[in-house]
Structure 1
Amino acid sequence: MTKPEKSIKGSEVTLYILQQNLFSFEQWLEIESEYRLEPFFSVLDLRPYSQALCSDTKRGRKPENREAILRALLVAPFENISEFTALRERLVSDIRFRYQCGFELAKRVPSISTFSRVFGQIMEKEIAQKLFNDLVQQCLDEKIIVADTIAIDSTAIDAYEKKQPKSKSQETGNATWGAKYDTFRNKITWFGYKIHLAVDTSSELPIALEVTPANINDGDMGPTLIEKVAAQIPEGRLKYVIEDSGYDQQKNYEAAKAQRAQAIIPLNLRNAQEPPEGFSFNGTPKCSMGYEMVYWGCDKNFLKFRCPHALGKVDCPNGMAWCSSSNYGMVVKINVKDDLRRFSLPHRGTKRWEELYDKRTSVERCNSRLKENLTANDLHIRGIKKVTAYIYLNAIVLLATALASKKINCSPKQKVA
Structure 2
Amino acid sequence: MSIIRQGSLFDIQELYDLEPTQRFEAIFSAIDIEPIFAVVTKKSRFGRPVDLNYAAMIYSLVARISERIPFIKDLVKRLKNDMIFRLDCGFLVSDSVPSEAAYSRIVTIISESNVLEKVQETLLHQAITEGFITDDTVAIDATHFLAKDQAPPKEEQPKQEPKKRGRKSKEEREQWLVEKAEREANLPLFEKKIEEQLDVPLAELRAEIPQAPEWGVKKNSEGKNVFWYGYKAHLAVGTTSQYILQSLLSSANLNDGKAAIPLLKGIHERVTLSSLRYETMDAGYDYEPIYTQIHRMGHQAVIAYNKRNEPEPIGFDKHFAPTCVREHSYRYDSFDSKYETLKYTRPKECEDCPLANDGLCQKVYKVKITTDLRKYTAPARGSKAWKKIFKRRTAVERVNAYLKEYFQLNNVRYRTGKRAKVHFDLVTLVYNASKLAADRLNLMLNQQQAA
In the superposition, relative to structure 1, how do residues 197 and 413 fare at CA in structure 2: closer, same or farther (>3 Å)? closer
Structure-2 residue corresponding to 1:140? 128
In the superposition, relative to structure 1, how do residues 152 and 108 fare at CA in structure 2: closer, same or farther (>3 Å)? same
Structure-2 residue corresponding to 1:396? 429
Moved more, 153-162 or 406-415: 406-415
Equivalent residue in structure 1 for 2:328, among 282, 286, 291: 291
In the superposition, relative to structure 1, how do residues 366 and 235 fare at CA in structure 2: closer, same or farther (>3 Å)? closer
In the superposition, relative to structure 1, how do residues 91 and 245 fare at CA in structure 2: closer, same or farther (>3 Å)? same
Moved more, 177-186 or 61-70: 177-186
Q: CA deviation at 1:132?
A: 1.4
Code of the residue aligned with 2:324 in structure 1: it is: C
Structure-1 residue corresponding to 2:86? 98
Structure-2 residue corresponding to 1:185? 223
SS of residue paired to 2:91: coil
Describe how 1:214-233 pairs up with structure 2 within 5 A: 214-233=252-271
SS of residue paired to 2:227: strand
Deviation per CA, 1:319-370: give whole Å up to 9, x if none: 4235448xxx532111112110001111111111111011101111111111
- In structure 1, what is the Cα distance between the partners aligned to 2:351 and 2:156? 59
- In structure 1, what is the Cα distance between the partners aligned to 2:122 and 2:300? 27
SS of residue paired to 1:412: helix
- In structure 1, what is the Cα distance between the partners aligned to 2:133 and 2:214? 34
- In structure 2, what is the Cα distance between the partners aligned to 1:162 and 1:259? 42
Structure-2 residue corresponding to 1:320? 356
Code of the residue aligned with 1:200 in structure 2: it is: G
Moved more, 71-80 or 40-49: 40-49
SS of residue paired to 1:334: strand
> Is 2:230–2:252's contact at 8 Å kept on the other side of the alignment?
yes
Deviation per CA, 1:23-67: give whole Å up to 9, x if none: 622222222323311222223332342122112213464241111
In the superposition, relative to structure 1, how do residues 31 and 272 fare at CA in structure 2: closer, same or farther (>3 Å)? farther
Structure-2 residue corresponding to 1:249? 287
Aligned length: 395
Equivalent residue in structure 2 for 1:34, among 13, 21, 26: 21
Please identify which structure carries the higher helix content: 2
SS of residue paired to 2:43: coil
> Is 1:81–1:87's contact at 8 Å kept on the other side of the alignment?
yes
Structure-1 residue corresponding to 2:300? 262
Deviation per CA, 1:170-223: give whole Å up to 9, x if none: 999511111112344343221110000011111111011111111111111111
Code of the residue aligned with 2:250 in structure 1: it is: T
Q: Percentage identity across aligned positions? A: 29
SS of residue paired to 1:312: helix
Structure-2 residue corresponding to 1:47? 34
> Is 2:79–2:85's contact at 8 Å kept on the other side of the alignment?
yes
- In structure 1, what is the Cα distance between the partners aligned to 2:154 and 2:125? 40
- In structure 1, what is the Cα distance between the partners aligned to 2:413 and 2:283? 33
Is 1:64 aligned with 2:17? Answer: no
Q: CA deviation at 1:371?
A: 0.7
Structure-2 residue corresponding to 1:376? 409
Q: CA deviation at 1:68?
A: 0.5
Is 1:406 aligned with 2:439? Answer: yes
In the superposition, relative to structure 1, how do residues 243 and 17 fare at CA in structure 2: closer, same or farther (>3 Å)? farther
Runs of 4+ in 1 over 6 A off after TM superposition: 168-172
> Is 2:246–2:266's contact at 8 Å kept on the other side of the alignment?
yes
- In structure 2, what is the Cα distance between the partners aligned to 1:157 and 1:199? 18
TM-score (norm: length of structure 1): 0.87
Gaps of 5+ in 2: 158-187, 192-209
Q: CA deviation at 1:138?
A: 1.3
SS of residue paired to 1:212: strand
Is 1:125 aligned with 2:113? Answer: yes
Structure-2 residue corresponding to 1:9? none
In the superposition, relative to structure 1, how do residues 185 and 75 fare at CA in structure 2: closer, same or farther (>3 Å)? same
Equivalent residue in structure 2 for 1:107, among 95, 109, 112: 95
RMSD: 2.7
Q: CA deviation at 1:148?
A: 2.7
TM-score (norm: length of structure 2): 0.81
Deviation per CA, 1:289-343: give whole Å up to 9, x if none: 33322223333322222332xx137986x54235448xxx532111112110001
- In structure 2, what is the Cα distance between the partners aligned to 1:125 and 1:19? 44
Gaps of 5+ in 1: 6-14
Deviation per CA, 1:248-297: give whole Å up to 9, x if none: 0001111111100001001012x242254322232111223333222233
Q: CA deviation at 1:238?
A: 2.6
- In structure 1, what is the Cα distance between the partners aligned to 2:232 and 2:151? 16
> Is 2:40–2:109's contact at 8 Å kept on the other side of the alignment?
yes
Moved more, 165-174 or 24-33: 165-174
Equivalent residue in structure 1 for 2:69, among 77, 81, 89: 81
